């Protein structure tokens, strides 16, 4: 036991460099796994994290002014009561644009329940009596930043100018504009200024429950206690969660796929690191056996050593992940991931334990092989083919250099190790290629919103102007490249819990430029295009018919195409507005979707319109989900780099092992008349050929898979297949070049040494 420990520590010390690299790789993999799992969890279910972090209240009730809330805490199941907070309704004016605001009075002290997570700036304080904190999604929708001045108007017209001193997340209500009005917190003084009439100030109270399942019951009891006339409205956590969960399917998709890569990379890294080390040690282990270690001892020593390395790497990875989580996610634009909860301990244990297990398993096979090594390290036993004529056959190719043929042949001599090296490289390269494909998809979505159906940049509604006035302004706007009149309706089909959005965009003769993935756009009244989500939910295919109520009238549509639609939960039916008139349906209120000229930013276009229109016109900017993808791009790039490092490490290890075999023959080959240049070529070829094969296979597989993966995921998420983009050629070229350079580089130095060495050394005489 002690001897084993001695050997392990001696070996670790002797190969410090290699060991540190392996530990770094494992740590990197573990950290990225943890981070990506955290992000994934946060992205797909932001409410949960947010709720936990804010110690939220499951029930929020708007009460009439003056309601007595003291006995609420006595309702069974209620653990805490938040508030009551004075709340006033106000209007926020930003130039001509007005938004409804719920202004809530809070104190500088942090509440015990329903905390706010300040993302930017700071919370309310007495030193800034005019300071307000805006809710994050509201702030993002209105392009409000810390330091902006806002004009708040009360119901009776009392105006107050306030300054934004902070932006915070809350679990009290869903995201704006899904749930209105927008939420702003201020000191009581501000609220009183905006709404001096006490009778207009409502009370907001939150109830935190021990058991969320009791929500309905508690609501009933609370209403009973307070009197139904006092309770103006009740919102529960279920509504909030639903609102928040309707997050970005695109983001969720990419993050899920991203997590997959991370997992694959992890397994690979670990297998390579552990196995590679053992292979290098085989000769030494033979010596150990001569010293008297039994096969069982040898195997357990090898596995134990790798396990120690694995534990070190995992521990460092865990610590790094913990340290990096906060700073990394603080870099996220607000609204993307409202709150990130530290991963449940189960996940951490799973990832950490899984890593360790992978190390042990990956070591077990070569460890067992090591145990079987004969005490006297015998000469290498290759398995040459039984075909005798390969040499003459290949030497046939007259221009083919003999050295290359010999080298290539030597590379594949030991079939299993060669296959493993090629396989590992191929898998790594596949994932790098897939990662590059994701990157180019993200880039494409960001640069080209039209490709995911977001051709329009602005949506304009008449607001206070008349339809005719609005229409003339919009159509007259010189910065608009195209204008599409549009109507939007939400329909809940019987038996369904989610709503379907019907969009009349443009006309059949001038349809909105959706991104059509299959079929074609509507060209005649009665034709429509549908998103994948809709098709899946209604079990329809392109070419079939569907009946949809529009403007109160059922209309039969012929589905002629499938579009990519990342919003509206992916359940969209779009048609030309002339269908409505033909069907005799009433025209819902029309707004206008504007496609701006290239080079005109959304903000500039909006400002221009508002200048021309004065007050009254309601212009909002269409949000591009890809704006939030910056973080994904960063993480993808990071992961690709890590994968690259992993591939490189395994390549270098494999090369070192392979070269050892071939260096022995240098003496004979030299005597047989191979020039030094030819000898070098042979050795370098033997490693480079393997690298090239693996990389080529990996690139091909990755290119084929990347698009398919994205489209499958997009389909499942309802966005619809067709957003996938092939990986960038430049990226792949760089990756291939690095791999080949590494392989050749690994061989060049030892080859040079061997070729130049005195014959006596090489022959071992």
Partner 1 sequence: MKPPADELMRTAGLIKVFDGDGGPVHALRGVDLSLAAGEFVAVMGPSGSGKSTLLHTIGGLEPATRGEIWLDGRRVDGLSQAQWAMLRRRSIGFVFQTFNLVSTMTVADNVELAALLGGATRHEARERREELLGELNLSAKAGAAPTRLSGGEQQRVAVARALASKPRLLLADEPTGNLDSSNSADVLRLLGRFHRRGQAILLVTHDARAASLADRVISLFDGMVADDAEVRPPLGLPPAAAGVLRLSG
Considering the rule CB under 8 A, would residue 410 count as an interface residue with partner 1?
Answer: yes
Query: Least CB distance from residue 341 to partner 1, whole Å?
Result: 57
Considering the rule CB under 8 A, would residue 256 count as an interface residue with partner 1?
Answer: no
Query: Least CB distance from residue 643 to partner 1, whole Å?
Result: 32
Cβ nearer to partner 1, comparing 289 with 670? 670
Query: Least CB distance from residue 408 to partner 1, whole Å?
Result: 12
Cβ nearer to partner 1, comparing 555 with 755? 755
Considering the rule CB under 8 A, would residue 386 count as an interface residue with partner 1?
Answer: yes
463 with 618: CB under 8 angstroms?
yes
Cβ nearer to partner 1, comparing 478 with 758? 758
Considering the rule CB under 8 A, would residue 390 count as an interface residue with partner 1?
Answer: yes
What gap in Å lies between CA 546 and CA 557, rounded to an integer? 5
Cβ nearer to partner 1, comparing 648 with 680? 680
Considering the rule CB under 8 A, would residue 409 count as an interface residue with partner 1?
Answer: yes
The two structure tokens encoding residue 417: 């190790």
538 with 559: CB under 8 angstroms?
no
Considering the rule CB under 8 A, would residue 417 count as an interface residue with partner 1?
Answer: no
Considering the rule CB under 8 A, would residue 376 count as an interface residue with partner 1?
Answer: no
Largest separation between any pair of C-alpha atoms in the chain: 106
Considering the rule CB under 8 A, would residue 392 count as an interface residue with partner 1?
Answer: yes
What gap in Å lies between CA 435 and CA 654, rounded to an integer? 24
Considering the rule CB under 8 A, would residue 749 count as an interface residue with partner 1?
Answer: no
Query: Least CB distance from residue 669 to partner 1, whole Å?
Result: 6
Query: Least CB distance from residue 673 to partner 1, whole Å?
Result: 3
Considering the rule CB under 8 A, would residue 741 count as an interface residue with partner 1?
Answer: no
Considering the rule CB under 8 A, would residue 672 count as an interface residue with partner 1?
Answer: yes
Considering the rule CB under 8 A, would residue 759 count as an interface residue with partner 1?
Answer: yes
What does the DSSP assignment read for 418-477?
HHHHHHHHHHHHHHHHHHHHHHHHHHHHHH-GGGGT----EEEE-TTS-HHHHHHHHHH-
Among residues 43, 617, 642, 669, which is the contact residue for partner 1, using CB under 8 A?
A: 669
Among residues 127, 228, 383, 497, which is the contact residue for partner 1, using CB under 8 A?
A: 383
Terminal C-alpha separation, the chain: 38
Q: Considering CB under 8 A, how many residues would be counted as binding partner 1? A: 43
Considering the rule CB under 8 A, would residue 760 count as an interface residue with partner 1?
Answer: yes
Query: Least CB distance from residue 412 to partner 1, whole Å?
Result: 10
What gap in Å lies between CA 355 and CA 506, rounded to an integer? 54
Considering the rule CB under 8 A, would residue 159 count as an interface residue with partner 1?
Answer: no
Strand ranges (E), 564-622 = 572-575, 591-596, 618-621
Residue 723's φ and ψ, nearest 5 degrees, are: -90, -10
The number of beta carbons lying within 10 Å of the beta carbon of residue 589 is 9
Considering the rule CB under 8 A, would residue 213 count as an interface residue with partner 1?
Answer: no
Provide the 3-class DSSP secondary structure of residue 121: strand
Cβ nearer to partner 1, comparing 298 with 684? 684
Considering the rule CB under 8 A, would residue 380 count as an interface residue with partner 1?
Answer: yes
Considering the rule CB under 8 A, would residue 391 count as an interface residue with partner 1?
Answer: yes
Among residues 10, 210, 671, 741, which is the contact residue for partner 1, using CB under 8 A?
A: 671
Query: Least CB distance from residue 678 to partner 1, whole Å?
Result: 7
Query: Least CB distance from residue 250 to partner 1, whole Å?
Result: 53
CA atoms within 13 A on the CB side of 761: 7
Element at 483 (helix H, strand E) = strand 480-492
The two structure tokens encoding residue 463: 């607001």
What gap in Å lies between CA 215 and CA 59, rounded to an integer? 7
Among residues 674, 692, 736, 739, which is the contact residue for partner 1, using CB under 8 A?
A: 674
Q: What is the CA 138 to chain-centroid distance, rounded?
A: 23
Considering the rule CB under 8 A, would residue 665 count as an interface residue with partner 1?
Answer: yes
CA atoms within 13 A on the CB side of 57: 28
Residue corresponding to tokens 């001695």: 6
723 with 449: CB under 8 angstroms?
no
What gap in Å lies between CA 16 and CA 254, rounded to an integer? 38
Sign (positive or negative) of CA dihedral 662, 664, 669, 675: positive
290 with 375: CB under 8 angstroms?
yes
Cβ nearer to partner 1, comparing 16 with 387? 387
Cβ nearer to partner 1, comparing 205 with 663? 663
Nearest residue to 277 (alpha-carbon basis) of 726, 650, 709, 718: 650
Cis peptide before 84 (omega within 30 of 0): yes
Nearest residue to 353 (alpha-carbon basis) of 30, 755, 684: 30
Considering the rule CB under 8 A, would residue 402 count as an interface residue with partner 1?
Answer: yes
Cβ nearer to partner 1, comparing 16 with 381? 381
Helices first, then strands: H and E counts in the chain? 22, 20
Among residues 677, 729, 737, 741, which is the contact residue for partner 1, using CB under 8 A?
A: 677
Among residues 397, 676, 749, 761, which is the contact residue for partner 1, using CB under 8 A?
A: 676
Considering the rule CB under 8 A, would residue 763 count as an interface residue with partner 1?
Answer: yes
Query: Least CB distance from residue 708 to partner 1, whole Å?
Result: 40
Residue 191, by phi and psi: left (phi above 0), alpha (psi -120 to 50) or beta? alpha
Name the segment binding partner 1 (CB under 8 A); options: 272-280, 341-349, 671-679, 716-724.
671-679
Among residues 381, 399, 478, 539, which is the contact residue for partner 1, using CB under 8 A?
A: 381
Binding site for partner 1 (CB under 8 A): 378-386, 388-392, 395-396, 402, 406, 409-410, 413, 661-662, 664-665, 667-678, 758-760, 763-765
């Amino acid at each position: 036991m002690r001897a084993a420990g001695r050997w392990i520590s001696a070996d670790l010390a002797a190969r410090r460099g290699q060991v540190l690299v392996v530990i770094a790789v494992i740590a990197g993999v573990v950290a990225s796994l943890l981070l990506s799992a955290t992000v994934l969890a946060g992205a797909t279910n932001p409410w949960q994290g947010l709720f936990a972090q804010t110690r939220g209240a499951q029930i929020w009730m708007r009460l009439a002014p003056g309601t007595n809330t003291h006995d609420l805490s006595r309702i069974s199941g209620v653990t805490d009561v938040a508030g009551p907070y004075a709340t006033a309704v106000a209007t926020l004016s930003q130039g001509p644009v007005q938004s409804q605001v719920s202004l809530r009075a809070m104190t500088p002290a942090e509440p015990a329940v329903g905390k706010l997570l300040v993302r930017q700036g700071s919370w309310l304080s007495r030193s800034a009596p005019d300071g307000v904190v805006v809710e994050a999604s509201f702030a993002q929708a209105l392009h409000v930043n810390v330091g902006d001045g806002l004009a708040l108007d009360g119901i009776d017209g009392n105006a107050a100018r306030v300054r934004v001193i902070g932006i915070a997340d809350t679990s009290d209500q869903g995201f704006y504009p899904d749930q209105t009005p927008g939420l702003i917190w201020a000191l009581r003084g501000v609220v009183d200024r905006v709404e001096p009439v006490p009778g207009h100030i409502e009370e907001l109270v939150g109830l935190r429950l021990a058991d969320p399942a009791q929500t309905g019951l508690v609501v009933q009891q609370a209403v009973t206690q307070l009197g139904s006339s006092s309770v103006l409205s009740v919102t529960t956590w279920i509504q909030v969660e639903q609102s928040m969960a309707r997050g970005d399917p695109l983001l969720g998709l990419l993050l899920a796929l991203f997590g997959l890569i991370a997992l694959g990379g992890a397994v690979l890294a670990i297998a390579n690191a552990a196995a590679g080390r053992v292979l290098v040690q085989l000769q030494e282990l033979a010596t150990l056996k001569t010293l008297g270690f039994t096969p069982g001892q040898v195997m357990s020593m090898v596995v134990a050593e790798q396990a120690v390395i694995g534990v070190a790497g995992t521990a460092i990875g865990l610590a790094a992940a913990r340290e990096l989580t906060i700073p990394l996610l603080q870099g996220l634009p607000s609204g993307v991931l409202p709150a990130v909860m530290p991963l449940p301990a189960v996940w951490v244990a799973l990832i950490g334990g899984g890593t360790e297990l992978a190390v042990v398993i990956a070591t077990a096979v070569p460890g067992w092989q090591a145990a079987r090594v004969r005490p006297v390290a015998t000469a290498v036993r290759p398995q040459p083919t039984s075909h005798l004529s390969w040499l003459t056959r290949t030497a046939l190719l007259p221009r083919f250099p003999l050295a290359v043929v010999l080298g290539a042949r030597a590379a594949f001599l030991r079939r299993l190790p060669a296959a493993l090296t090629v396989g590992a490289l191929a898998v790594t390269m596949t994932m790098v290629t897939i990662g590059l494909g994701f990157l180019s998809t993200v880039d494409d979505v960001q640069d080209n919103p039209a490709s995911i159906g977001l051709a329009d940049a602005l949506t304009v509604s008449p607001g206070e102007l008349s339809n005719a006035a609005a229409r003339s302004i919009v159509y007259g706007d010189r910065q608009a490249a195209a204008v599409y009149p549009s109507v939007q309706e939400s329909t809940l089909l019987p038996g369904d819990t989610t709503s379907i959005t019907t969009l009349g965009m443009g006309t059949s003769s001038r349809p909105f430029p959706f991104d059509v993935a299959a079929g074609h756009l509507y060209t005649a009244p009665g034709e429509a295009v549908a998103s994948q989500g809709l098709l899946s939910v209604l079990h329809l295919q392109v070419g079939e018919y569907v009946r949809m109520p529009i403007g109160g009238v059922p209309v039969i549509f012929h589905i002629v195409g499938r579009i990519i639609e990342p919003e509206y939960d992916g359940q969209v039916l779009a048609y030309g507005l002339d269908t409505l008139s033909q069907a005799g349906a009433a025209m819902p209120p029309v707004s206008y979707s504007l496609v701006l000229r290239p080079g005109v930013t959304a903000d500039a276009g909006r400002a221009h319109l508002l200048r021309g229109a004065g007050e009254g016109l309601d212009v909002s900017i269409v949000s591009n989900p890809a704006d939030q993808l910056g973080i994904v791009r960063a993480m993808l790039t990071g992961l690709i780099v890590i994968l690259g490092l992993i591939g490189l490490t395994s390549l270098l290890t494999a090369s070192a092992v392979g070269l050892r075999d071939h260096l022995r023959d240098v003496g004979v080959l030299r005597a047989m008349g191979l020039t030094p240049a030819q000898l070098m070529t042979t050795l370098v070829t033997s490693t480079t050929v393997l690298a090239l094969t693996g990389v080529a296979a990996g690139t091909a597989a990755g290119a084929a898979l990347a698009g398919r993966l994205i489209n499958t995921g997009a389909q499942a998420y309802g966005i619809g297949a067709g957003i996938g983009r092939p990986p960038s050629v430049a990226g792949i070229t760089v990756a291939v070049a690095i791999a080949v350079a590494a392989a050749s580089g690994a061989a060049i130095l030892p080859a040079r040494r061997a070729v130049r060495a005195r014959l006596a050394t090489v022959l071992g005489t």
